[in-house]
Every structure is written in structure tokens, then in C-alpha cells.
């Protein structure tokens, strides 16, 4: 037996998509209001700092959108939890670099990671703040900079202060993208989440391209989505 959806009152095969969207909206509302919403986002962001390919940015943007469309989790909570997870993840990578160096494991010698480490070595000691803030938005560069900082024995108090500031700025940015899109685009949770994720990905690509163009021609640009050697 078919049920009516408030936005699609007519029962017919042509309104099936509206019913499906209503179901997805309900699922997203349940996820956003659950007790494990923020812990789930924390785990994804932490894993993203360590494994690169985990969609931490997407998770923060999506929860930023849900904070506006659903009302939970609170937007401030999204920002604080994301910033803490990003800081802890980057700190763990820094400690790994300090303890094991840059070539202990096979993945450290991979083409993309090696290229990122070479770039980080050239730039880190000349402009630490700029490199740390830039790398936070570019997955492979982020991993390489934290590893290299640890292996190069960059003083922990100074470096981790920069990491904390960069993680906070990154969290505010990612959550704000989702929140702003959700404010501007009508259509409920599923529409806000999908569009905000698309916008976040597009902005990430733009950042990669800008960083690549601003890098001096004699240097390898920070490896990431716009890395020409990838």
C-alpha cells in the first residue's frame, strides 16, 4: 500500500522519486539526531588524516548542512569535533615521522607520497605557517608535511600550535560550506547535503589549482587532485 508524501500527494509512478527522497530525508534526519553522529564524523576525520582517501572533508561538509536543515548536530559541535579530530590525526602523523622517519614502510616510498615529501622538505623550514595551512586542504601534501616535520625534528610546541590553528580553520571552512549551501538551497536534507558536497569538492579542486599556479616554477607543486604527475 502506497503512502502519501507531503510534497507529492498524488499516488502514481511519476512521484516515486519524491517518496524515495522523503525516505532518504528521514534517514539523514535520524543519523543527524543520533548520539553517534559526531563520533562518526570524528572517526572519519581522524582516519582521513592518517589514510588520505577517507572522506573526512565530505563528512564535515555534510554534517554542516544537516546542522542547518535538521537542527542537529549543532554547528558549533561539528566545527569543534572536526577541528579536534583533524588536530589529533595530524599530530599522530607528526609523531610517526619523528619515530620512524620517512622511508620505513613501503607506502612512504610510493610515487605520490615521495613527491609530496620532497616538496615538503623544500618548503617546510622556509615558510612553516604557509605550508601547514596550505597542506591541511590537500590530502597528500598534508600527510607529507606532517611526516616531514616529525622526521626533521621541527620543535613540537611551535609546529603543533600551527597544526591546531590550521585544523580549526579547515573545520570552520568545511562546516561553513555545508551550512551556507543549506541556507541558500531549498529542498530538505538530501538536497542540501548533495549540493554542499559538490560545492566542497569543486572548491577543493580550485584550491589545488591555485596552489599549483602559485608554486614557483622550479619547484614541484604540492601533490594532490591537481598534481600533473598523478
Domain assignment of residue 16, yes or no? no
Higher pLDDT, 42 or 102: 42
pLDDT digits (tens, 9 = 90+) for 73-118: 999 999 999 999 999 999 999 999 888 877 766 656 667 667 767 7
Q: Average model confidence (pLDDT) for the chain?
A: 78
Helix (H, G, I), strand (E, B) or coil at 4: coil
Domain assignment of residue 11, yes or no? no
- Domain total in the chain: 1
**pLDDT average, residue stretch 140-167:** 88
Least confident of 90-94, 102-106, 203-207, 224-228: 224-228
Domain assignment of residue 192, yes or no? yes
Residue 28 clears pLDDT 60, i.e. is over it: yes
What is the pLDDT, as a whole number, of residue 41?
A: 94
The pTM score is: 0.77
Domain assignment of residue 7, yes or no? no
Per 3-state DSSP, the chain is made up of helix, strand and coil in percentages (nearest 5) of 75, 0, 25
% of the chain exceeding 90 in pLDDT: 29
The domain in which residue 191 lies consists of: 36-214
Which residue from 94, 71, 120, 106 is spatially nearest to 220, judged by alpha carbons?
120
How far apart CA 116 and CA 108 sit, in angstroms, is 10
What is the pLDDT, as a whole number, of residue 106?
A: 66
**pLDDT average, residue stretch 137-157:** 84
Domain assignment of residue 220, yes or no? no
Q: How many helices (H) and strands (E) does the chain have?
A: 9, 0
pLDDT digits (tens, 9 = 90+) for 154-186: 888 989 999 999 999 999 999 999 999 988 887
Confidence of residue 71 (pLDDT cuts 50, 70, 90): confident
What is the pLDDT, as a whole number, of residue 130?
A: 82
CB 84 within 8 A of CB 43: no
CB 198 within 8 A of CB 177: no
The torsion of the CA quartet 148, 153, 157, 160, rounded to 10 degrees, works out to 10
Confidence of residue 1 (pLDDT cuts 50, 70, 90): very low
Domain assignment of residue 22, yes or no? no
188: left (phi over 0), alpha (psi -120 to 50) or beta: left
How far apart CA 155 and CA 184 sit, in angstroms, is 44
- Which grid coordinates belong to 109? 616510498
Domain assignment of residue 91, yes or no? yes
Domain assignment of residue 3, yes or no? no
Amino acid at each position: 500500500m502506497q503512502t502519501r508524501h507531503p510534497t507529492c500527494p498524488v499516488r502514481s509512478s511519476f512521484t516515486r522519486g519524491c517518496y524515495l527522497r522523503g525516505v532518504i530525508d528521514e534517514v539523514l534526519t535520524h543519523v543527524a539526531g543520533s548520539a553517534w553522529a559526531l563520533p562518526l564524523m570524528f572517526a572519519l576525520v581522524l582516519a582521513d588524516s592518517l589514510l588520505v582517501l577517507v572522506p573526512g572533508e565530505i563528512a564535515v561538509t555534510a554534517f554542516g548542512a544537516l546542522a542547518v536543515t535538521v537542527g542537529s548536530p549543532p554547528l558549533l559541535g561539528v566545527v569543534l569535533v572536526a577541528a579536534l579530530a583533524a588536530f589529533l590525526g595530524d599530530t599522530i602523523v607528526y609523531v610517526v615521522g619523528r619515530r620512524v622517519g620517512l622511508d620505513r614502510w613501503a607506502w612512504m616510498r610510493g610515487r605520490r607520497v615521495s613527491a609530496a615529501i620532497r616538496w615538503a622538505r623544500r618548503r617546510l623550514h622556509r615558510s612553516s605557517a604557509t605550508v601547514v595551512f596550505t597542506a591541511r586542504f590537500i590530502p597528500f601534501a598534508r600527510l607529507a608535511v606532517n611526516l616531514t616535520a616529525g622526521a626533521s625534528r621541527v620543535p613540537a610546541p611551535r609546529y603543533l600550535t600551527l597544526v591546531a590553528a590550521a585544523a580549526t580553520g579547515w573545520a570552520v571552512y568545511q562546516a561553513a560550506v555545508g551550512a551556507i549551501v543549506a541556507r541558500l538551497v531549498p529542498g530538505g536534507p538530501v538536497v542540501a547535503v548533495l549540493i554542499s558536497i559538490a560545492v566542497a569538492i569543486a572548491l577543493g579542486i580550485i584550491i589545488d589549482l591555485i596552489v599549483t599556479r602559485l608554486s614557483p616554477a622550479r619547484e614541484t607543486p604540492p601533490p594532490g587532485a591537481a598534481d600533473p604527475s598523478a
